[in-house]
Structure 1
Amino acid sequence: MTAHHQPSAQPAPAPRPVTAPQPDPAAGRAVYEADRAHVFHSWSAQGQIDPLAVAGAQGSYFWDYEGNRYLDFTSGLVFTNIGYAHPKVVAAIQEQAARMCTFAPAFALEARSEAARLIAERTPGDLDKIFFTNGGADAVEHAIRMARLHTGRPKVLSAYRSYHGGTQQAINLTGDPRRWASDSGTAGVVHFHGPHLYRTQFYSGTEEQECERALAHLEQTLAYEGPQTVAAVILETIPGTAGIMMPPPGYLAGVREICDRYGIVFVLDEVMAGFGRTGTWFAADLFDVVPDLMTFAKGVNSGYVPLGGVAISAKIAETFEQRPYPGGLTYSGHPLACGAAVATIRTMAEEGIVEHAAHLGETVIGPALRELADRHPSVGEVRGTGVFWALDLVRDRETREPLVPYNATGAAGAPMADFAAAAKRGGLWPFVNMNRTHVVPPCTITEAELKDGLSVLDEALSAADAHTVGGTGA
């Protein structure tokens, strides 16, 4: 079991009262019917989904039109780092909308300049130039474009266990099965295996071996591809949706050294891990590594208004000092989104939210999940940091056979569906991906709320236990 901890330096943010849900089933039916008639949902077979009609959200909770309230252990899609409807950010959005709701990107604007300054203050090293995008996928697209133009090379290496976005280049970089339908194998992308000791590809027995062998594998891949053809290596600092696999000590520093040796741009994707999620402003801070480019989105303004970006090193920025960068977006640095980012970052600093996330991971989440693992045979491994954790669920602890097969669909995925249904019956909305459940609540969740959610998680894991070897479903 792997964990990295950071000490808490400030008191927890003050809890905010949550408005009691008011049932309105008729309104809920209207919302649901309009959705089913007209909304085309992502990553879904449209005729096989049954989306919940959500009436409202506040703090760490959301509720439906029937009056059922759920503690959100998903943070939306791991982006509501400051929780839902934070009054300071809501007020800032309203103020920005009244002052200057939108404006073209070629001008200097207060909200845009201040958002860039606040982000650059917190990024590691000399990542002091900020290129704004609409979200994480297009941030990755632009980071790769910058790397290719900077180096004059075509190829990019990324890990199999990864997710980098749904646009064409980003989905090819992605390592999970969502890539398959759109991957033509001709986008200049080469995949390699990153470290993951629990399910090692390298027959390692220790973190040290896993680090050494994963780095050797990367270097061998580069040798076969021709390092002079490789523009960039891109990694999620801590892979998110793919399983929150903490890189072993020395791995990211080793990748940095390999990239330096071959003149390759090192890109870290912090779209999910950034802005407090790991108990630090950026996950890179945990590993004392500085990339050449860093992508961000999600937590930069808690998803209140779509925003992403690329933090750019001095070396990369110099390439475009006299040479135009051939890329842009109509809404780059949108004032409303940047105003939300300014308010979010200031609020996180004022309320000690990053420190609170570190404290929760060290004193509440980590110990509680390890205790659950001791009692539940379905829990194979616990890993994470801050408010960024995963439980790797297994059918057999000895063999580490996953609770459901890789990319399971239909009846094959029933054990995870049973677990998720049990959590929802208890008022907890879980994050479920393949054979894992992730514990990724808002960074502002209180200890009391967290303990309530962990208690429901404890009960729900019994549904997973039933499908283990020796369980009633085995």
Structure 2
Amino acid sequence: MTAKTTEPIDPAGTGTDGRGAPGEAGPSAAAIEAGRRAYELDRSHVFHSWSAQESLTPMTVIDAEGSWIWDGEGNKLLDLTSQLVFTNAGHKHPKIIEAIKAQAEKLCTVAPQHANDARSEAARLITELLPDDINHVFFTNGGADANEHAVRMARLHTGRRKVFSAYRSYHGGTHLAVNLTGDPRRIASDDDAGVEHFLPAYTYRSYFNAADEAQEAERALNHLRDLVMLEGAGQTAAIILEAIPGTAGIYLPPPGYLQGVRELCDEHGIVLIIDEVMSGFGRAGKWFAHQHYGIEPDIVTFAKGVNSGYVPMGGVAMDDAIYATFAERAYPGGLTYSGHPLAAAAAVAAISAMREEGMVENALTLGEEVIGPRLAALKDRHPSVGDVRGVGMFWAIELVKDKETREPLASYGQTPAVMSELVAEARRRGVLPFMNMNRLHICPPLNTTAEELIFGIDVLDAVLDLADESIRGG
């Protein structure tokens, strides 16, 4: 039986067809009608990111709770995307919602030059999760400006300009951040921003003809070391790396690689910036993904999961050496909404809820015991699945035309037509996956249950028949 003919499954075991909340009839007719009106207004007035505007048919979301969302027609979908990988505590977490309400009634907004208890407590909680010498946070509005300010700090701290960033990376859409980015979204806006790109350690698609992870780490480090030498170590302010690259493929650095980058930075006085915008706050089964590798960054950037995306927030957490540069010297940068009270209150509540409810531990356990084994079995069953990889609630399924040659379903930077078919069929069955190029990403909220994950992966298993058929010419 193929993915094209199997009937929808009841995703929550509720006796519905997966289109209604447990024990309920689902969104009301009025809510669905309001969603249709929202879609009309969207197409009339909203300009979407990273898109050709006239070809868009965006999905309307009219409700969400826990690991589930309801689309514009009232269909219930398991959210394997965490939206853009930020609802780490799930949708409508009551503790976060209550914190935002209470903060709005107490102090809804305040200029960033003034101290307020929500921002102060958020900074304390964040630094408490990081190495002992990281004690200060500069709050931003999101991840892109966090990376912008991290690089600015590194340049001012070192007196140098060049910054190294990997290909197959993403660091944001603002001017410097998109130049730091190492995927095709950079190209249209590329200019001389003082950024040098290098080839990453990516064992499955090794640029260095590596036979295993140890060889990949060694050769990738030699490559980076050579580039730093050729470009001038004395001119290099920073190396920025995602602890685990996210939208670029969720490919984990091989053992020893990040440690080697840390040693290279120490040798030449280069600031090591670890971008944890997507991988941080429990996503990878640790509070921060770099903690899997036993390194201590000089700067950690974050956003997204810090408050489950309920109110926009990002930040730069810096070590004491970076902080000391600006102890008696003004830092030339700021933001009107730096540490906004509503965002900070949401961060305090999210971090507290993740601790109290064991969400980070849940992510690690279910990644090891449910997602990993089920994806390994899925890889064995499907000729179109070349690789599965990940940790915690942060996984990728990479689709190929040929397992032996590892030829992707489409050229790098392109999205094969079958991917849209896969997502459409998964949605029909009650699951919303994250799609990027030739990959499906599995990034649900950290408090998703084993039962929900099994349902979601079973749906992906079924719809991957479409990819198998596409490579057979079916």
Match 1:56 to one of 25, 40, 63: 63
1:428 aligns with 2:431: yes
**Structure 1, unaligned runs of 5 or more:** 1-15
TM-score relative to the length of structure 2 = 0.94
1:65 positional shift: 3.2
Amino acid at match of 2:450: E
Identity across the alignment (%): 60
Please give the residue correspondences for 1:320-399 in structure 2 after superposition, counting only pairs within 5 Å. Answer: 320-399=326-405
* 1:115-194 matches, cutoff 5 A: 115-184=122-191, 186-194=192-200
Corresponding position: 1:414 with 2:417: yes
Equivalent of residue 470 in structure 2, options 462, 467, 470? 467
CA distance in 2, matches of 1:168, 1:337: 24
The Cα shift of 1:125 comes to 4.0
| Deviation digits for residues 373-396 of structure 1 (CA, Å, limit 9, x no counterpart) | 010111101110000000111011
Conserved in 2, the CA contact under 8 Å of 1:403 and 1:467? Answer: no
Q: Residue 443 of structure 1 aligns with which residue?
A: 446
Q: Which runs of 5+ in 2 are unaligned?
A: 1-20
Deviation at 1:134, TM superposition (A): 0.4
Shift of 1:426: 1.0
What's 1:4 paired with? Answer: none
Partner of residue 74, structure 1: 81
Residue 81 of structure 1: how far off its partner (Å): 0.3
The root-mean-square deviation of aligned C-alpha atoms, in Å, is 1.2
- SS of aligned partner of 2:435: strand
Structure 1 residue identity aligned to 2:149 = H
Match of 1:35 in 2: 42
Instruction: Please say if residues 404 and 415 of structure 1, whose CA atoms lie closer than 8 Å, have aligned partners that are also in contact.
Output: no
Query: Which AA in structure 2 matches 1:56?
Result: D
Match of 2:226 in 1: 220
Q: What is the DSSP-based 3-state SS (H/G/I as helix, E as strand, rest coil) of the residue aligned with 2:134?
A: coil
1:27 offset after TM fit, Å?
2.1
| Deviation of the 1:255 alpha carbon | 0.2
Write the letter of the residue equivalent to 1:82.
A
Measured after TM superposition, the shift of residue 289 of structure 1 is 0.5
Aligned counterparts of 2:253 and 2:133: Cα–Cα separation in 1 = 23
**Contact kept in structure 1, 2:276 and 2:289, CA below 8 Å:** yes
**Counterpart Cα distance in 2 of 1:44 and 1:65:** 20
- The whole-number CA distance in structure 1 between the counterparts of 2:343 and 2:144 is 16
Q: Report the counterpart of residue 110 of structure 1 in structure 2.
A: 117
CA distance in 2: counterparts of 1:336 and 1:453, whole angstroms:
33
Per mean C-alpha deviation after superposition, the further-off stretch among 52-61 and 136-145 is: 52-61
- What is residue 102 of structure 2 aligned with on the other side? 95
**How far apart in 2 are the matches of 1:257 and 1:245?**
22
Contact 1:393 / 1:402 at 8 angstroms: preserved in 2? yes
Cα distance in 2, alignment partners of residues 18 and 230 from structure 1: 59
- Deviation at 1:22? 2.8
Q: Which amino acid aligns with 1:105?
A: P
Kindly provide the amino acid, as one letter, of the partner of residue 85 in structure 1: K
Contact 1:373-1:381 within 8 A present in 2 as well: yes
Per-residue deviation at 1:28?
2.4
| Deviation string, structure 1 residues 237-273 (Cα, Å, up to 9, x no partner) | 0000000010011100100000010110000000000
Cα distance, 1:17 vs structure 2: 6.7
Amino acid at match of 2:123: A
- Deviating more after overlay: 57-66 vs 262-271: 57-66
Asked if the contact 2:59–2:72 (Cα under 8 Å) also holds between the matched residues in 1, the reply is: no
* Shift, 1:224, TM fit: 1.0
- Among 255, 267, 271, the alignment partner of 1:265 is 271
Contact 1:236–1:270 (CA under 8 A) maintained in structure 2: yes
Residues 18 and 254 (structure 1), Cα distance of their counterparts in 2 relative to 1, 3 Å cut: farther
Alignment of 1:194-205 (within 5 A): 194-205=200-211
CA positional deviation for 1:419:
1.6
CA-CA distance at 1:215 after TM superposition: 0.3
Q: Which amino acid aligns with 2:360?
A: V
Query: For 2:243, which of 228, 237, 241 is the aligned residue?
Result: 237
Whole-Å separation in 1 of the counterparts to 2:83 and 2:310: 11
Q: Which amino acid aligns with 2:180?
A: L
Instruction: Report if the CA contact (8 A) 1:389-1:440 is conserved.
Output: yes
Question: Retained in 2: the 8 A contact 1:18–1:58?
Answer: no
Q: Is the 8 A contact 2:367 2:391 kept in 1?
A: yes
Partner Cα distance (2:317, 2:223) in 1: 28
Aligned to 1:7: none
One-letter code of the match for 2:470? H
Q: 1:165 corresponds to which letter in structure 2?
A: G
Q: Deviations over 1:128-177 (max 9, x none)?
A: 11110000000000000000000000110000010000000000000000
The 3-state SS of whatever aligns with 2:452 is helix
- Give the match for residue 206 of structure 1: 212
Matched, 1:286 2:292: yes
Report SS of the residue matched to 2:62.
Answer: strand
Contact residue 403 and residue 416 of structure 1 kept, 8 A: no
The Cα of 1:18 is off from its aligned counterpart by 8.7
Counterpart of 2:248, as a letter, is A
Please give the alpha-carbon distance, in whole angstroms, between the structure 1 residues aligned to 2:411 and 2:226: 30
Q: For 1:243-322, list aligned pairs within 5 A.
A: 243-322=249-328
1:171–1:340 CA distance, 2 compared to 1 (3 A): same
Q: Are positions 1:65 and 2:68 aligned together?
A: no
1:64 Cα shift? 2.0
Secondary structure of the 1:310 match is strand
Distance in 2 between the 1:140 and 1:17 partners? 41
Within 2, Cα distance between the matches of 1:42 and 1:106?
A: 31
User: Alpha-carbon deviations, 1:325-369, whole Å to 9, x = none?
Assistant: 111101000000000000000000000000000111010000010
2:17 corresponds in structure 1 to none
Alignment size in residue pairs: 452
Residue 51 to residue 223, structure 1, CA distance change in 2 (3 Å)? same
